[in-house]
Amino acid sequence: MPVTELFEQAPVIDDARLQMSGAGRLRHLLTLKGLKRSMLTELLDQSEAFLSPLGNVPVRSRSLAGKTVANLFFEPSTRTRASFDLAAKRLGADVLNLDVNMSSRKKGESILDMIYTLQAMQVDIFVVRDASAGVPAYIARHVLDHVSILNAGESDVSHPTQGLLDLLTIRQCKQSFEKLIVVVVGDIAHSRVARSLASGLATMGVGELRLVSPKSLAPDPADFPRARILHKLDDGIRGADVVMALRIQRERIGNLDGIPGIDEYFANFGISHERMKLAAPDAIVMHPGPMNRGIEIESSLADSPSSMITRQVTNGLAVRMAILAAVSRTVDTR
């Protein structure tokens, strides 16, 4: 049965409530929505504890010893998948990286039967990326009480660990959120990264969030109630403290008519050294990756001292260690 038909049979509990245990602790991570500032701060603090300088021995612990983590990526990934894999191993877990294209889903097995099968092999934590909205929550409603679901990217809806690593990167560079102007530039309409970042920034009390996109890639304003939606990059970037570029998510766009070509896009929406002159002098540049150099970002800017792109990747691993440890603690103390 298609996943969408199964959703209709599921009880409606919103993801923000579904992800919490009865004691108010994080059991699953489905969305940043509904997580209090104190909880986000605690997760960012815990992530810091998992960082060590590049070239040093990575931080390890045994907090997931005896647990099994399964990575189920139904969409491509480099950063998220590799970092969840390493994060779980550095916490002492057994890790299953299932090649979903070679799995029995190709023979018609439903996603839930696949989860029940792996649950029967004592998988405790499922890390799930899927192109359909609602899949992580749908699975979370059906697993046993000791099992946790971590959303590793859900359609254009949510990418909570990306949101956390972006918050961590901004906090490291700018200390507090209250006076910051953050601008996100690109395909906002299809961006789960922008949605999770906007949610996290709102909770942390950011000064101003500006979203800049071509009109054809503009979001529904209802999805971003506290943001300014703009279509001229110069207006968006002026005075900004943080500038994040996004790629055009062609895989989510059915009809590419009306989407600017590469040269037109870079001329109007590409982040460049020249454009960054309008931002605050100490502004940082971010990109969630994968990036398309010369389209949404000038290549030399991506490699410049103001670029935090590789730091975001480093932080991603630490954030995923913190999340794995947090949900594991919740289940163990229930």
Pairing state between β 284-286 and 242-245: parallel
Closest CA to 129 of 13, 198, 9, 29: 29
What letter would DSSP give residue 58?
P
Closest CA to 287 of 204, 140, 165, 177: 165
Q: Measuring CA to CA, how many Å separate 267 from each of 92, 183, 212, 299?
A: 48, 18, 14, 14
Residue 260-289 contact track with ligand CP, rule CB under 6 A, x = bound? ----------------------------xx
User: Could you give the residue ranges of the DSSP H alpha helices within the chain?
Assistant: 3-9, 15-18, 37-48, 79-90, 111-119, 135-140, 160-174, 192-204, 233-237, 262-269, 273-276, 299-302, 309-332
Residue 196 near ligand CP by CB under 6 A: no
Residue whose CB is less far from ligand CP, 148 or 312: 312
Residue 162 near ligand CP by CB under 6 A: yes
**Can you tell me the distance from the alpha carbon of 72 to that of 164, in angstroms, rounded to the nearest whole number?**
20
Residue whose CB is less far from ligand CP, 111 or 319: 319
Residue whose CB is less far from ligand CP, 58 or 289: 289
**Can you tell me the distance from the alpha carbon of 64 to that of 70, in angstroms, rounded to the nearest whole number?**
13
* Greatest alpha-carbon span in the chain: 57
Residue that has been written with the tokens 């002026």 in this structure: 238
Residue whose CB is less far from ligand CP, 136 or 153: 153
Residue 136 near ligand CP by CB under 6 A: no
Beta sheet of 148-154, edge-to-edge order: 94-98, 68-73, 125-130, 148-154
Residue whose CB is less far from ligand CP, 315 or 330: 315
Residue 321 C-beta: closest distance to ligand CP, Å:
16
Residue whose CB is less far from ligand CP, 78 or 304: 78
**Can you tell me the distance from the alpha carbon of 10 to that of 135, in angstroms, rounded to the nearest whole number?**
11
Residue whose CB is less far from ligand CP, 143 or 187: 187
Count of residues that bind ligand CP according to CB under 6 A: 10
Sign of CA dihedral 22, 24, 27, 33: positive
Residues in 289-308 at the binding interface with ligand CP, rule: CB under 6 A = 289-290
For 121, the enclosing helix (H) or strand (E) is none
Residue whose CB is less far from ligand CP, 63 or 77: 77
Residues in 63-102 at the binding interface with ligand CP, rule: CB under 6 A = 77-81
Residue 115 C-beta: closest distance to ligand CP, Å:
21
Residue whose CB is less far from ligand CP, 154 or 298: 154
Select from 153, 160, 186, 270 the one that contacts ligand CP (CB under 6 A).
153
Residue 159 C-beta: closest distance to ligand CP, Å:
6
Closest CA to 165 of 13, 69, 47: 47
What letter would DSSP give residue 278?
T
Residue 78 C-beta: closest distance to ligand CP, Å:
4
Residue 314 C-beta: closest distance to ligand CP, Å:
13
Residues that bind ligand CP (CB under 6 A): 77-81, 153, 162, 288-290
